Structure 1
Amino acid sequence: MKSVGLVFVAMLLAGCSVVPGSGPSTASLSADDIENTVKQEDYFSFKLTPEVAQIVGRYVPTRFAEYFGIKGTEPRQQIGVGDMLTVNIWEADERGIFSTSYGKKTTIESVVDDSGRIFVPYAGRIRAAGRSVESVREAVQGALEGKAVQPQVQIVVSGNQTNSAVIVGDVGKPGKYPISIAGTTLLDLVAHAGGSRGKTFETVVTLKRGDRKASTNLQDLIDLPKNNVRLVKGDNVLLTVKPRSFTAFGAVKKTAIQQFPTETVTLAEALASVGGLNDETADASAVYLFRFEEPEVIAKLDPKARGKLGEYQVPVIYRLNLRDPKAWFVARYFLMRDKDMIYVANHPAAELGKFLRIIQPILTSARYGVLISDDLEN
């Protein structure tokens, strides 16, 4: 029996580290000397305190605006090949080459041809592509001086093909839309195209300008006006309805992928949606949230890391100790984000219970072996 006891103790000490589990243990994700932040090889780890929650919650993503915001004076629109121009000409006398006894105004419609020019009678071929409306107006009026009677010219872009943007995807009316001289924003274009087919907080807006591309949530264009950037010619916009979701693993009552039922979901609501923690196995002091954060957030959480961060998102683990009553208030207002992962580690006692269940057949066999041996000796 002593030998069986020694074997049992040895297995207990060595076997707990190989007990099957749904994820990493509390010890592998944190240590007693870690109070606030630690830089691991591949991720940052922070204790989810009210201060940390406030810093993360106050962060306003403006990278989209920085990518596509127009700095300085907004560029003037220029006429391009394919644009339809309406040329209105007035003369001071009804005996002019354009005026008649019925009126002194003549309207001519002309499309900018592939050589970038339009044709106006008696003015000839006028270069229009690459010029502003006022520049073309002055050129036409100057060409008519001495031919028409005190001509006055007006140029109207009636078909704007060059200064336009394309919007496709999950919108009511995808297509090519002209950009107003006064300026057209992303929300303007979405509205012209009939709006999104999905909920605003589930719609992702992707803007491609030249070789630059970035995405943001449609709701952010409303909540963060800075992200509602002005469009320039040639912009391509894609709207995609992507329901947001989070996943829950470990010692929870229901491991699942959960979609956001509303625009905002807190950490407390996320845990409740999967049935909460498993009372038999969960370590309430070891609730973890895995996500990717912007470098700006990490720099505020850990100023020492400011010089080591690049421009890409950084993997972060937030730890919440639900044995602390104050932590429940943090969980109540800490907002979840798309593709967040929640993991609840097993309690060490649960790991021991698993191990005992694994070795129970071995102990039973050993016990019967000892009993048989005793019977034989007797």
Structure 2
Amino acid sequence: MRFLLVAICASFLTGCGALPGQGPTAITITSEDIEGDAIRSQYALINVDRKAVNAIHAYRPELFSKSFRKVPGGSRSSRLGIGDRLVVTIWEAAPEGLFSTPDGKQVSVPVVVDENGYIFIPYAGRIRVAGLSVEGVRAGIQERLKGKAIEPQVLVVVEGNESSGVVVVGDVNKPGQYTMSVRGMRLLEAVARAGGSRQATYETVVTVKRGRGAGTARLVDLIEYPENNIWLVPGDNILLTHKPRTFSAFGAVKSTQLVPFKTESVTLAEGLAQVGGLKDFFADAAGIFLFRYEDRALVRKLKGPSADKFTSNRVPVVYKLNLRQAEAFFLARSLEMRDKDIIYVANHPTAEFGKFLQIIGPLLSNVNTANALITD
């Protein structure tokens, strides 16, 4: 009987490599072969230490505003366009002037910029105003009236700046078209005038479409990075979309799942806690991995000149954390998760032997029972 047990054990030990697993072990992931594979596969393998965490915190990502950096500031909105409604008031120095009335020495003329960009003022004729500032229109009308009116003085007031409208749609409380004031309008102001987002700011994505170009950012990033709160220009289309952030957890964790962000920020330590932590008897505490894409500029700060081999602006990065070191727990509290991150916890090298013991446990029990019966 004992000989039979030894034979069975030997056969099981021979087949341990075929036992089911939850993924590669940590000892495989950190081997030189994997380092070589990182070069061939164009991804970076980075150990999480204090220097790496500080570099990640200090790095300033490429700003959303960069897509619109050639756009002028708020003065652009003061230019008049088709459909704008104006009130032109003309004063004269004598009561017998062209525009004098029994009630006074001035008259107010409401006008609308026509489809060709012109307005009509009596005795001044048709004047092209599209693309001009309010002051430019005022000076132009006054110049046209010289020699016709008695020392004319002109005031131009914009009643409706219809040509300087932007459209805000999507997950906002009051979608619609909103006109700019003379001083212009920033992106956050347009969102506020549309009633704000219906969802949490960290779950809302803002897309600005301008001509053939476009830019996208999280709504919360407009506040965190003030440069992203760009000046709008007439004709901009703004879309707010609800896009909850998630991360995935695989390997030797107690719950393999897709996890939504429940707060604005989630650290790696909190992410591990949300999936139940490491799986007993299987997880290798030295093999905690975080997969994500990083800007090439950040990878260069972390890897130095060796990062020059990456040609893409977005580089796949694998961060490795060793929880067998006490400092790693503080580092895990400092490293914030991002949307679509993947946490992988590697199996411990002895996990396969643990599975083997679980399989032969019932067999050993049966053999002991048989030996007891034979002895009796």
TM bucket (normalised to shorter chain) is 0.7 to 0.9
Q: Which residue of 2 aligns with 1:341?
A: 342
The CA deviation string for residues 232-290 of structure 1, in whole angstroms up to 9 with x for no partner, is 22222111122222121111111222222221111111111111111121111111111
Q: What's the offset of the Cα at 1:40?
A: 4.7
Q: What's the offset of the Cα at 1:293?
A: 0.9
Question: Quick one: distance in 1 between partners of 2:14 and 2:144?
Answer: 98
Q: Which residue of 2 aligns with 1:374?
A: none
Q: Structure 1 residues 104, 164: CA separation in 2 closer, same or farther (over 3 Å shift)? A: same
Check conservation: 2:290, 2:344, Cα contact below 8 A: yes
**1:330 aligned to 2:331?**
yes
Question: Quick one: distance in 2 between partners of 1:237 and 1:67?
Answer: 14
**1:95 aligned to 2:63?**
no
**1:48 aligned to 2:48?**
yes
Q: Indicate the SS of the match to 1:101.
A: coil
Q: Indicate the SS of the match to 2:328.
A: helix
Q: What's the offset of the Cα at 1:196?
A: 1.3
Check conservation: 2:249, 2:257, Cα contact below 8 A: yes
Root-mean-square deviation over aligned CA pairs: 2.9
Q: Which residue of 2 aligns with 1:206?
A: 207
Q: What's the offset of the Cα at 1:291?
A: 0.9
Question: Quick one: distance in 1 between partners of 2:343 and 2:287?
Answer: 11
Question: Quick one: distance in 2 between partners of 1:304 and 1:9?
Answer: 50
| Structure 2 counterparts to residues 61-210 of structure 1, below 5 A | 61-70=61-70, 76=76, 77-210=78-211
Q: Which residue of 2 aligns with 1:19?
A: 19
| Structure 2 counterparts to residues 204-283 of structure 1, below 5 A | 204-283=205-284
The CA deviation string for residues 28-77 of structure 1, in whole angstroms up to 9 with x for no partner, is 43216989x96451311101111111111222223312222357776644
Q: What's the offset of the Cα at 1:310?
A: 4.2
Check conservation: 2:53, 2:331, Cα contact below 8 A: yes
The CA deviation string for residues 170-223 of structure 1, in whole angstroms up to 9 with x for no partner, is 112112222333232111111111111111222211122222222111111112
Question: Quick one: distance in 1 between partners of 2:6 and 2:40?
Answer: 40
| Structure 2 counterparts to residues 288-299 of structure 1, below 5 A | 288-299=289-300
Question: Quick one: distance in 2 between partners of 1:311 and 1:209?
Answer: 26
Q: Indicate the SS of the match to 1:157.
A: strand
Question: Quick one: distance in 2 between partners of 1:308 and 1:177?
Answer: 48
Q: Which residue of 1 aligns with 2:288?
A: 287
Check conservation: 1:88, 1:155, Cα contact below 8 A: yes
Q: Indicate the SS of the match to 2:220.
A: helix
Question: Quick one: distance in 2 between partners of 1:13 and 1:129?
Answer: 85
Question: Quick one: distance in 1 between partners of 2:47 and 2:54?
Answer: 13
The CA deviation string for residues 102-124 of structure 1, in whole angstroms up to 9 with x for no partner, is 12332222221111111112211
Q: What's the offset of the Cα at 1:164?
A: 2.4
Question: Quick one: distance in 2 between partners of 1:355 and 1:112?
Answer: 84
Q: Indicate the SS of the match to 1:94.
A: coil
Q: What's the offset of the Cα at 1:21?
A: 2.8
Q: Which residue of 2 aligns with 1:371?
A: none
Check conservation: 1:80, 1:116, Cα contact below 8 A: yes
Question: Quick one: distance in 2 between partners of 1:337 and 1:194?
Answer: 28
Check conservation: 1:90, 1:151, Cα contact below 8 A: yes
Q: Indicate the SS of the match to 1:239.
A: strand
Q: Structure 1 residues 160, 306: CA separation in 2 closer, same or farther (over 3 Å shift)? A: farther
Question: Quick one: distance in 2 between partners of 1:358 and 1:235?
Answer: 65
Highest relative contact order (Cα 8 Å, sep 6+), 1 or 2?
A: 2
When the two structures are superposed, what TM-score results if normalisation uses the length of structure 1?
Answer: 0.85
Specify the code of the residue in structure 2 equivalent to 1:218. Answer: L
Check conservation: 2:42, 2:310, Cα contact below 8 A: no
Specify the code of the residue in structure 2 equivalent to 1:80. Answer: G
Q: Indicate the SS of the match to 1:162.
A: helix
Q: Which residue of 1 aligns with 2:315?
A: 314
Q: Structure 1 residues 308, 68: CA separation in 2 closer, same or farther (over 3 Å shift)? A: farther
Q: What's the offset of the Cα at 1:132?
A: 2.4
Question: Quick one: distance in 2 between partners of 1:326 and 1:139?
Answer: 72
Specify the code of the residue in structure 1 equivalent to 2:153. Answer: Q
What percent of counterpart residues are identical? 48
Q: What's the offset of the Cα at 1:142?
A: 1.8
Question: Quick one: distance in 1 between partners of 2:129 and 2:252?
Answer: 70
Q: Which residue of 2 aligns with 1:372?
A: none
